[in-house]
Structure 1
Amino acid sequence: MSKTVTTRYDVAEHLRTPEEMAAYLDACFEEADGNSAFIAKALGDIARAKGMSQVARDAGLSRESLYKALSGDRSPDFDTILKVVNALGLKLHTEMRNGGGLPHIAPEV
């Protein structure tokens, strides 16, 4: 019987285009359920796909602090997230959840 050899899957190896990176981040936001460390890890995957050194320079961060911030072990501050998103050439946007909405407030008469 022959042994099956497996290798660890690394999503960063499969994120080749800006569209794939944006779609991956969108999917991670759907799955994160409010877990900011999960989003940080997803941004780290995208940063590795683009090249951590370049992303760190573009974000104005050291390579080491970028690795720590996007490791998924902790939740980086929002300022760091915005710097990284900008350095990746991505942007954040919002939309209403299905069935969600703001309460209607009648104007005062």
Structure 2
Amino acid sequence: MSADDFSGPAVNGPEARAAQRAEFLDVRLRMNGCDEASFSRALLLVAELDGIDDVARACGVGTEFMRRQLNGTRPLHFDSVLQVTRALGVQLRVEALPDRPR
């Protein structure tokens, strides 16, 4: 084996963690019961695991404000979603659904 056999992001490196965060949030968005509150709480969980102080700072708000904003009890504004996802190093994407009935 050579070092080339292990190319790609480190198992616990920043790229791998961003990929894990993206996968976690993507799964939540695809769930049938996903709504604003559940996605908001998923964002909060990921922000907490990533270091909410850094995420809040990147969004230009305080940590407690970030927690209140993402706890699922307040309306989640799309600009907040974009700010938080960018701070987490992930992005949202839109894709067509497979043949859905009309």
TM-score range, shorter chain: 0.7 to 0.9
What's the offset of the Cα at 1:79? Answer: 1.2
| Separation in structure 2 between the aligned mates of residue 44 and residue 30 of structure 1, nearest angstrom | 18
| Separation in structure 1 between the aligned mates of residue 37 and residue 19 of structure 2, nearest angstrom | 22
What's the offset of the Cα at 1:100? Answer: 3.6
Q: Which residue of 2 aligns with 1:96?
A: 96
| Separation in structure 1 between the aligned mates of residue 75 and residue 100 of structure 2, nearest angstrom | 26
Q: How does 1:3-82 map to 2 (within 5 A)?
A: 17-31=17-31, 33=33, 35-82=35-82
What's the offset of the Cα at 1:34? Answer: 5.2
What's the offset of the Cα at 1:56? Answer: 0.2
| Separation in structure 1 between the aligned mates of residue 66 and residue 77 of structure 2, nearest angstrom | 12
Give the share of equivalent positions with the same residue, in percent. 29
| Separation in structure 1 between the aligned mates of residue 67 and residue 34 of structure 2, nearest angstrom | 21
Please, what TM-score do these two structures have when normalized by structure 1?
0.71
After TM superposition, where is structure 1 displaced by more than 3 Å over at least 4 residues in a row? none
Q: Is the 8 A contact 1:53 1:63 kept in 2?
A: yes
Please, what TM-score do these two structures have when normalized by structure 2?
0.75
**Long gaps (5+) in structure 2:** 1-15
Q: Is the 8 A contact 1:44 1:71 kept in 2?
A: yes
Q: Is the 8 A contact 1:59 1:83 kept in 2?
A: yes
Larger C-alpha radius of gyration, 1 or 2?
1
Query: Which structure has greater helix proportion?
Result: 2
